[in-house]
Amino acid sequence: MGSTVSNFGQLCGKGKTQEEERRLRANDRHFNLSCNYANNAIKTSKYNILTFLPLNLFEQFQRLANGYFLGLMILQLIPQVSSLSWFTTAVPLILVLSITGVKDASDDINRHKSDKQVNNRKVDVLVNGQLKKEKWSNVQVGDIVKLENNEFVTADLLLLSSSEPLNLVYVETAELDGETNLKVKQALTVTGEMGGCIETLAAFNGEVRCEPPNNRLDKFKGTLTVNGEVYALDNDKVLLRGCTLRNTEWCFGLVIFGGADTKLMQNSGKTTFKRTSIDRMMNILVLCIFGLLASMCAILTIGNAIWEAREGSVFTVFLPYEPGINASLTSFLMFWSYVIVLNTMVPISLYVSVEIIRLGNSFFIDWDRKMYYPKSDTPAQARTTTLNEELGQIKYIFSDKTGTLTQNIMTFNKCSINGKAYGELFDFSGQRVEITEKTEKVDFSWNDLADPKFIFHDHSLLETVREGNPEAQAFFRLLALCHTVMPEEKKEGELYYQAQSPDEGALVTAARNFGFVFRSRTPETITLVEMGRKVTYELLAVLDFNNVRKRMSVIVRSPEGKLTLYCKGADTIIYERLHPSCSKLMEVTTKHLNEYAGEGLRTLVLACKDLDEHYMEDWMRRHHVAATAMEGREEMLDELYEEIEKDLLLLGSSAVEDKLQDGVPQTIEQLAKADIKIWVLTGDKQETAENIGYSCNMLREEMKDVFVVAANTREGVKEELENARRKMSPNAPENPTVHRSRSGLFWLQKTQTVPDEDVAGEYGLIINGHSLAFALEKDLELELLRTACMCQTVICCRVTPLQKAQVVQLVKKYKQAVTLAIGDGANDVSMIKAAHIGVGISGQEGMQAVLSSDFSFAQFRYLQRLLLVHGRWSYLRMCKFLRYFFYKNFTFTFVHFWYAFFCGFSAQTVYDEWFITLYNLVYTALPILGLSIFDQDVNDRCSFQYPQLYGPGQMNLYFSKKAFVRCMMHSCYSSLILFFIPWAAMQDTVRDDGKDIADYQSFALLAQTCLLIAVSIQMCLDTHYWTAINQFFVWGSLAAYFAVTFTMFSNGMFLIFTSIFPFIGTARNSLNQPNVWLTIFLATLLCVLPVVAFRFILIQLRPTINDKVRYKVRKEGLPAPAPRRPPHRRISTRRSGYAFSHSQGYGDLVTSKRFLLRLPLKSRLALFTETDSAIAQNHPQVFRTVTEETEEQMREQRD
């Protein structure tokens, strides 16, 4: 289908022929289908019934070991080579492939279900002059569809008409840009006149020419031709897939882009096959092991050729060669025989065990009650079981803001009126009291129109207002008048506000509860209910907000005829326009503003001014001339606004809280202590993101500087980045240092690494989306990376979903560090897919992020437990498992190698055949699984209290190529002990009764017993956390070995299976000899003693952070959690930004003569349905740092 061809084509640079221009006709399916445009079906799954088996096997055989085992199985089918049956390799290989295949199939079935659910949604489509219900997947380009209130937008649509005046519609774009405030779209007048008339719409034959499918969410260029007239189209005329229709009864739209061509899908990124760094290293190590195996087999083959030439000819008298076999062919076949005998260097049980360990650690995440959120009944979920250990190696976190760090709830928190601050509580001694949910709330029951969900705790503010304080009443009168909110009253007294910005909604709601209720508006009037009295103000002018003005004003006439200008905006802007008499009040208000900004609140300054009637008449006349001018309109209006907005009288300031999720500042502080860098990538505007940065403790007053990159040209962006870099590191070279190397399988992958540069002090970086577009270009990306990585905190504002993915890929490409992306909306899907680990938050923006993620939970604060506890433990356990697994198998295999020199290089095994079969399957499988699933170096509380414990994982210290070489050397030493000590002890030994004991079976039994006990003790030394299960597995495995061994050599087995078990009594005859047990003890002691001595010396001289923490815990015990204290008040000297996130132009709409000609609505969604803030289920963590003691201090402590 078309969508399959074009799916992600724009992102991948592949697919169908590049489309240069899209041309379509309304209601003309024949013409549109001839253009082969993608239909509206989407496909995010990887397989279908036909492609699953070949594609999945292809992916699995990218793991080199699987191909190795397949070749080994083929070798075992050759009788002249193999001494083992083929099914000993085939059965485990098929089992591993099947388990992995079933897991992959299950994941893909879930993706198919999700696709099917979306594609089968129903929508009204205009077909042959009638509205018919059609599946989304059947909608074609050029179709006209009807959407109703609260429905998802089916495809990218050209808005034709709506139920609202002026052909407006309200849409929520949370899934596109993360913002939950409503945005307004408006249809062309020529199409809006069709209204909801089906006959007129069915006869509509307009032709659209527009840009081809692309990922730019904020731009659209095209034209609509109707009856020979050409009309320009822009982004305000288009509804994008992923939006939700709100507060609009119905609208009609023309499908422009469908399915994979929609801007949502163009931004969704490409699904990649994620593998951990340990997996990639394993491929390289397995390749090295193959080389070692080939070398060992070659050495033994040469030895066999020499032995055949010198000694073998003697045996041909009574053991002649088979026909066609000679010494040369024997040596060749012996090479492959040793490949089979020594294959235990990479046993297939390694990969089975790895999958079991990952699955077990995934269950621990799923079952963790401390990551369960009861309010939404949402547990944590490990959606992918193959990435657990990578959670312990994260260096960079890329986070969305809205819904991830914040709750998407705006609340009126504090205010300053006429120099007095309100919103805080103090006890009788004047000490500030912490506000909790048990604190008494202000009773607004006296106000019949109050919002019952509004919460405020400072009773003195209500008392001040009700006492008739003129400044307080003017403050809330301003909030009730100066805005662009639209009221809606379903029932008498039930008010709902449609606010383009949630900040405005919060401020108007606050005024409503304190007795100044915004009740209704017309283009010429605003009606309030002031302290129970209905008052109607004449609205003379709205001086609208824009990004340059950073303020908004209204001019109203009261019923008494008094003319007043009310203004609110950013403090820096309002202060410049105040009357000199306000200087003292301004100082006090500034102090309050700094306190609010220090707490991360979003602040506004409020001011007013009385106007003269004659001056106002003259100003209105000039305003009319300017508003109707064809040229220079904006400049003339700005000049008039500047003229009237001066000599203002300061009323006070407001502080609105964009409520953070519980525990966000503590979590960010904790992760920063673990040396994890957090970058915020948000679609919000700069001021909003900056405020949240301070609230989250990401931006701090202690920082030397916070750089803002907001240039609109490529040269400007380059200059700002270079200036920031030079200030942070004056001595750094101008050109970046790039280390080029090779890595990956066969060293074919070229890597480029930009090293970290030293910086004195902490800095922050804020960059806008349009600047980021230039910075991500090829010749500027390294400058962006250098500057950003020098900073402690990076915040990217107004970024598109695809830019989020590009930032993640830039860091992945040049930093070679493990990255994690976390978000909660569809706009975060691309970066979640791009990062090594994707985490989805089950929030208010749908489930798209969760469906694309590897791990999911309900609250951002759970991220610290996921990384610092589960991630670190998973990484530690996996590394211990790999080190021990290679140790025990190399030791097992090297003993074969030494034995070859004593058996004529005949490929005879040193161990009993049943021991070889059961060694990895039974005797050593469960103990190491127990260690790898349950082991903890320290418990979870210590992991939180000492976040520095996370550092070794980031540097990959626990399992690396060096650790692998050390493991091989250790195995080589152990194998020498485990072979030569039993060999020397058994060579000339006799039993107590004088009989000879030095037979092959007795030696094999002694050697394998020494091996099993030695590796078991080694595992015990590696275990830090003992459970009953560990004990059972260790002792149970040893008991199983002796039980099986005695059974194999028992009289009963000999009588039943004489040919299979001919060596009757070997076990009891050997193990009842004291010298055999002495040999076992000596060999085990010589294996273990150097390890214990080495570790003891290492702890004394070079203790790791883990050693220090364990020592502290043993010495001091775990401290009790500190009592909860009120948060420390932080005073900020920064000037706050304008808190609004709405766009320019709404002043014109609310004063439009046709705007209030509203049609009756069936139902409308309440825009502000505030919920109680979430309650943290656990107390904030108490952070402690580990003092890095010197070597002398550590020795003194241990003495």
Active site residues: 400
- For residue 782, what is the enclosing H or E element? helix 781-790
Contact yes or no for 240/217 (Cβ under 8 A)? yes
- For residue 609, what is the enclosing H or E element? strand 602-611
Chain centre distance of CA 312: 65
Contact yes or no for 347/338 (Cβ under 8 A)? no
Contact yes or no for 678/664 (Cβ under 8 A)? no
Q: What is the C-alpha end-to-end distance of the chain, expressed in Å? A: 75
For residue 253, the cross-strand partners are 145, 159
Backbone phi, psi, residue 250, to 5°: -160, 160
- For 1170, the token pair is 């505030």
* Dist CA 46 CA 272 (whole Å): 10
- For 339, the token pair is 């490949």
Cβ neighbours of residue 1100 closer than 8 Å, sequence gap 6 or more: 1191, 1194, 1195, 1198
- For 1030, the token pair is 């560990």
* DSSP code for 649: E
CB atoms under 10 Å from CB of 837, counted, come to 26
* Dist CA 844 CA 831 (whole Å): 19
DSSP states along 446-475 = T-TT--TT-----HHHHHHHHTT-HHHHHH
Burial bucket for residue 245 (CB in 10 Å: 0-12, 13-18, 19+)? buried
Burial bucket for residue 786 (CB in 10 Å: 0-12, 13-18, 19+)? buried
For strand 494-498 and strand 486-491, is the pairing parallel, antiparallel, or unpaired? antiparallel
* Dist CA 864 CA 1121 (whole Å): 17
Q: Where are the alpha helices (DSSP H) in 312-379?
A: 313-315, 327-341, 349-367
- For 1060, the token pair is 């299979």
Backbone phi, psi, residue 842, to 5°: -75, 90
Cβ neighbours of residue 309 closer than 8 Å, sequence gap 6 or more: 327
Contact yes or no for 772/796 (Cβ under 8 A)? yes
Dihedral angle sign, alpha carbons of residues 618, 619, 622, 628: negative
- For 756, the token pair is 């970290």
- CA 322 vs CA 58, 325, 727: distances in Å: 41, 5, 82
* Dist CA 802 CA 125 (whole Å): 31
Dihedral angle sign, alpha carbons of residues 1053, 1059, 1060, 1065: positive
- For 618, the token pair is 């003259």
Q: Where are the alpha helices (DSSP H) in 547-612?
A: 571-575, 583-598
Contact yes or no for 877/952 (Cβ under 8 A)? no
* Dist CA 938 CA 45 (whole Å): 41
- For 914, the token pair is 């049943």
* Dist CA 300 CA 297 (whole Å): 5
DSSP states along 678-747 = EEEE-SS-HHHHHHHHHHTTSS-TTSSEEEEE--SSHHHHHHHHHHHHHHH-TTS-SSPP-EEEEESGGG
